[in-house]
Amino acid sequence: MSDVAIKVENLGKQYRLGEIGTGTLSQDLNRSWARLRGKEDPFAKIGETNDRTKKGESDFVWSLKDVNFEVKQGEVLGIIGRNGAGKSTLLKILSKVTAPTTGNVKVRGRIASLLEVGTGFHPELTGRENIFLNGAILGMTKTEIRKKFDEIVDFSGVERYIDTPVKRYSSGMYVRLAFAVAAFLEPEILIVDEVLAVGDAEFQKKCLGRMKDVSVNDGRTVLFVSHNMAAVRNLCNKSLYLKNGNTQKIGTVDDCLLSYYNDFEKGHKGILSTRTDRIGNGRIKITDFYIENFEGEKIEVINSGIGYSFVIEFSNNEFPHNLAEVVASIALVDEKDQTVLLVRSNFTNQNLLIDSNKGKINCIIKDFSLTAGTYKVVLFLGYGETEIYDLIDNACELTVEGGDFFNTGSIGLPSHCKILTRANWNVYEKLY
């Protein structure tokens, strides 16, 4: 159809764990021989889905498998899914950074991609030179690029450094210029990964506004990957939900978000009571974990700046004996395995007394301070620092949406900076 900008059919991407490249020479030859005879790829029959929560038996993993969808001209497609779902792999295939193992992609128009900081930039060239280089890659003439040059520089806010080699740019400056180039050099299709998180709140807001203008006013197609569900809901008119490399759902944004949140709930409901990958002597056992709002309703997705009750349910295997000076802690870990938030009862001298056979421990956080993203939850119960009753390293994943933390009416919070805090600023006259 003439109005279809991107058509993806039976797309698959297979990797071999521990290998660089596509695999061995013999495997490549077997693939080529099968293709020449019109046969199925022999390695398409093996391999496992990309479920990173389970230890697999095969060295072959399908990062994407049997993905099918269409994007029409002028649509803004939001691509959502957990870390490792295949979102970035899909964008790399669409951008022709990597080739698919199976299936094919049909694209109408020029593509400008912003997949990671510095994509398409030569570090030794200046900002000015990289603008012309990227324009040439998109097939534009020097005259066309010159017409857009002032708009690009003005939008990026790096005019003072435009004749400085980009290798001396900060990551924020890099992505400012890269997005400006991608958005203003008039590609028919704009592909943007989570890289915008590097920018500050003001620039993120400008980028979202520009992407909306590109779609609504210019009729161009945008593919947008983000863990900020509020941004996806605000910007996109269609969504693709990927799960373990497969198309879980494609449709309206609200339908895909509902499916995403429901899968999260099903995947973690009641799982802790039977988990075997735990550490500790088991005197107390964690049986469940969930989050409630202050009305007592269970919440699957939380917002920055809102208050919540984090609840750990437990069973006391020492009952009827009491356990005193119990320490409870909850840690949230980001995608780089860095602990970005830790609450621990003994930090505030609130060691707990367990005097029943089962119960729950509430941890009240009045103003949740993390920015949008997906975080791993680590739960701990023990006696001080000397005895571990129960420790579950990856109890579940917590999805955080952007929120109006500062009560300013803006949810464009910089997700590269994970922790938010309020502060008062004053200027005092210098007294002599």
Q: What CATH number should be reported for the domain whose range is 274-401?
A: 2.70.50.60
pLDDT at 363 over 70: yes
Most confident of 30-39, 209-218, 417-426: 209-218
171-184 vs 142-156: helix crossing angle, rounded to 10: 140
Supply the pLDDT for residue 219.
86
Q: How much is the mean pLDDT over the chain? A: 81
Supply the pLDDT for residue 275.
82
The segment(s) of the chain belonging to CATH 3.40.50.300 are 66-263
Mean pLDDT of 97-106: 89
Question: What homologous superfamily is domain 66-263 in, according to CATH?
Answer: P-loop containing nucleotide triphosphate hydrolases (3.40.50.300)
Q: Residue 18 — pLDDT band, cuts 50, 70, 90? A: low
The segment(s) of the chain belonging to CATH 2.70.50.60 are 274-401
Mean pLDDT of 118-125: 79
Taking only the tens place, the pLDDT of each residue in 206-259 is 888 888 888 888 888 999 888 777 778 888 889 999 988 899 999 999 888 888
